[in-house]
Amino acid sequence: MRIEKDSLGQLEIADDAYYGIQSYRASQNFQISETQVHPLMIKSYLLLKKAAAIANEKVGVLEPKKARAIISAVDELINIDTHKDSSKYFIIDAFQAGAGTSQNMNANEVIANKAQELLGKKLGSYDEINPNDHVNMSQSTNDSYPTVMRLATLALSNQLITELEYFSNSLGVKAQEFDHILKAGRTHLQDAVPIRLGQEFGAYKYTVDQLIKLLNEAQASLRVLGIGGSAVGTGINVPKGYRDTIILELRTLFQDDKLTIAPNLIAAMQSQLPMMIYSNALRASALELTRIMNDLRLLSSGPSTGLAEIILPSSQPGSSIMPGKINPSLLEMGNQVFFKVIGNDNAMAFAIQAGQLELNVMMPLMAQLSLESTHIMKNALHSIRERCIDGIKANDKQCEKYLGLTSQIATALSPLIGYAKAAELAKVALSENKSIIELIKEKKILTDEQFKKLLNLREMTDAK
């Protein structure tokens, strides 16, 4: 064990630990969820500290030797699976002190100790590289944590958007595959005019494309960063030229040339509106995706006593008591994930409004919520696409059967015979259990030429 000291006193720390006394205090104070901070949050913090070291050296406030040690330490740490071996590195619970001070200091201490080691110094001595004086130079938790939170969310949201694009493509493939299949449409869960199965899937694809657009728009707000604002946005202890320099380094390290410094750094400390905008986009996505999951469950219901217009691939046995039963398991999982995302957005709303004066301290919760929602939505979509959507088959015969039974083909007759007569015809068809087509022929309502022209079902489903 080694002894480390801070303003509250001294504690014993394991000799081989790269964290220091402030991290250790936090780990003891916040034994809450046994949930580690997301790996992308850790990686983003490391990259921010690297960018800060480079910027501090360039503006002349950090000695080149110290800057190189910090940069090398970060490079080494990024190549280590610190999440797997967290007991020596990043030990802070996802639920921690307000503003993320504990996590910022955990990063500062781990980097400082790794830099000390690279310089041949003893862990915990901080005689060459100090967590506060050097690794945290020109920064505060109050500008570094929200910056890291947004950068980590951006990185993971890119992965989600990619998965949504794959999901859209899969729906597009099914839209083409099923384009020739005519079926009964349904409104109010009741029979409606004909539609093509491919059109239904094409509409799902369009909706997913709109969600991609929505998330791209939400990303724009996350790219506005408050780094360089320091404690309250006034830039105290931040050297001249630092902000312009660090944003260039962040653009390079995060491979995103759209990153910018917030035009009002005080507002960037007070408000975390960008996180709410992104969370709202996730909520809207979850709501729409839930609707699509529900539609697919309805369309596949049965198979003997439901709609059974599509056939889902079998993923696992559906019952411990009913032999041969297969359930829409992947879609059910999707619903549950999307419900969780909607719940997380509600928690985000409480966190966003909880800021007071110059700082919103609820940021660790915001980071945990946005990253969890993005992560589980991404993974859910991947599984649903690969194990369900790509394997969906159409039940052509069932679609054709229901199409023939729907009385709402009478809608096409309204312009010719009037709404009232068409409604009466639909009523007779239902009471006599006959199709509209049968009745038209039986009662000779249309000539053969009129019948052929008016009741061209394929043409009926094409927008003019």
For residue 13, which phi and psi values (nearest 5 degrees)? -125, 145
218 vs 281: CA distance, rounded Å: 7
Peptide bond into 303 cis (omega under 30): yes
The catalytic site residues sit at 319
